[in-house]
Amino acid sequence: MSNGLSEQARAAAAAVDGERLWSRLMAMAAIGARADGGVCRQALTREDRDARAVLTGWARARGLRVSVDAAANLFVTRPGARDLPPLLIGSHMDSQPAGGRFDGIYGVLAAFEVLEALEDAGLGTGRPIEMVAWTNEEGGRFPCGCTGSMSWSGEAPLENFLDVVGADGVVLRDALAETLAASPDIERRGLGGGAHAYIEAHIEQGPVLEREGLAIAAVTSIQGFRMSHVTVTGTPGHAGTTPMAARRDAVQGALRAIAALNELMADPSDTVRFTVGCIDVEPNSPNTIPARARFSIDFRHPEEAVLEARYARIEAAVRAAAAPCDADLEHESSMSPGVFPAPVVAAIEAAARDLGLPAMRLPSGAFHDALFIARACPAGMLFIPCKAGLSHHPDEYATPQDCEAGARVLAATAMQLAEATLS
């Protein structure tokens, strides 16, 4: 990697139009807008399809080619001088059910802005540059998330996800078919195929950049995770006539199991991340003793050994604590921590520095599609600050200036990497 930005990289960064990017961010925020200022644009819903249609319209208005694969990953391609493996830039368009206006969609629109800037500046590249929007990164509707990036990268076959039942009872297979059928005019392409490299821009979803007063982070790594559910099974009965001593109350069993997991996940260094985000009760009636309580486990840590050791103890812990109810652990997905290749991290850091933007290196507590894409090609991420580190929250916010700065670094890095030889 040569020192300093090339003239093309500087020209690409200079051509980024921050106002255009901001107006597209606000237009997307209106799709699935919530009364509290957040968005609900969950994977493969009508809102997701509407957002895809709007982005497709913007791309076609610029004469750019739009295509979609069997996982509904959406691509906008700017051709290069030679038909080489593309440089991919992008993120995800789906949101949490009570999500913010920037998580994921910022990286997709910053990538689209890079393509528009290259068009405006008339800058040619040796290889194609493609914007990508990965399907179902969040996993809020269809658990485990990163469906599109895992199936594109070969981390897991798409078939593994098709029978997943969504929180609303819809099977992923049907929602996927409906989304693809809604855009019959978009060119189909094969799933996968590799890439020269991948760069994802994303809000930090943490407080460090804002606290340090920095504009950019070059992301060094992403912590690993274990996602699962526990089903506690009891005996339903009448809330008024059944003696307490005779009960097998599934909610009480789940509460004991969660208390046992809180003990298992205790960590004085506050590095472990353990969340029970969902609890479903059946039959969910105030005067029937609960028959079943199903709760989610989201467990994360930067060290695989800690993930392995603590996860291995979960099943015995919940079974013992839930008694006399039964407890079953349903494993959903796991991912080892990922480290981004040094040349890519360095390229992002150098681009920020050469553009006069203060930068630092940061690990990511959140998972991202880049974690899986890094299994298929050299990948990296850049973060921009977000207010108070808030994300997965309606008040999630990034300033127009920070959004523009991130897009400029993305443009410069993309141009540098597109022409670079990456091992």
Residues making contact with ligand HGY (CB under 6 A) = 137-138, 145, 366-367
In eight-state DSSP terms, residue 294 is E
- Cα gap 228→276, rounded to integer Å: 10
Min CB(419)–Mn ion separation in Å:
28
Min CB(406)–Mn ion separation in Å:
14
Name which of ligand HGY, Mn ion, none residue 38 binds, using a CB cut-off of 5 to 8 Å depending on partner kind.
none
Min CB(298)–ligand HGY separation in Å:
7
List all residues 6 or more positions away from 371 whose beta carbon is below 8 Å from its beta carbon: 146, 149, 222, 335, 338
Where on the chain is the footprint of Mn ion (CB under 5 A)? 103-104
- 288 vs 296, which CB is nearer to ligand HGY? 296
Q: How many CA atoms lie within 13 A of 164 on its CB side?
A: 25
Residue labelled with tokens 């809330």: 239
- 17 vs 332, which CB is nearer to ligand HGY? 332
- Cα gap 134→147, rounded to integer Å: 8
Min CB(243)–ligand HGY separation in Å:
43
Name which of ligand HGY, Mn ion, none residue 367 binds, using a CB cut-off of 5 to 8 Å depending on partner kind.
ligand HGY
- 103 vs 249, which CB is nearer to Mn ion? 103
- 282 vs 304, which CB is nearer to ligand HGY? 304
- Cα gap 137→44, rounded to integer Å: 11
- 222 vs 293, which CB is nearer to ligand HGY? 222
Min CB(333)–ligand HGY separation in Å:
11
Residue number with the shortest CB distance to ligand HGY?
Answer: 366
Min CB(22)–ligand HGY separation in Å:
22
Residue number with the shortest CB distance to Mn ion?
Answer: 104
User: Which contacts qualify for 338-342: CB closer than 8 Å, 24 or more apart?
Assistant: 338/221, 338/222, 338/224, 338/370, 338/371, 338/374, 338/375, 339/220, 339/221, 340/219, 340/220, 340/221, 340/370, 340/374, 340/379, 340/380, 340/381, 341/374, 341/378, 341/379, 341/380, 341/422
- Cα gap 89→406, rounded to integer Å: 13
- 103 vs 130, which CB is nearer to Mn ion? 103
Name which of Mn ion, ligand HGY, none residue 145 binds, using a CB cut-off of 5 to 8 Å depending on partner kind.
ligand HGY
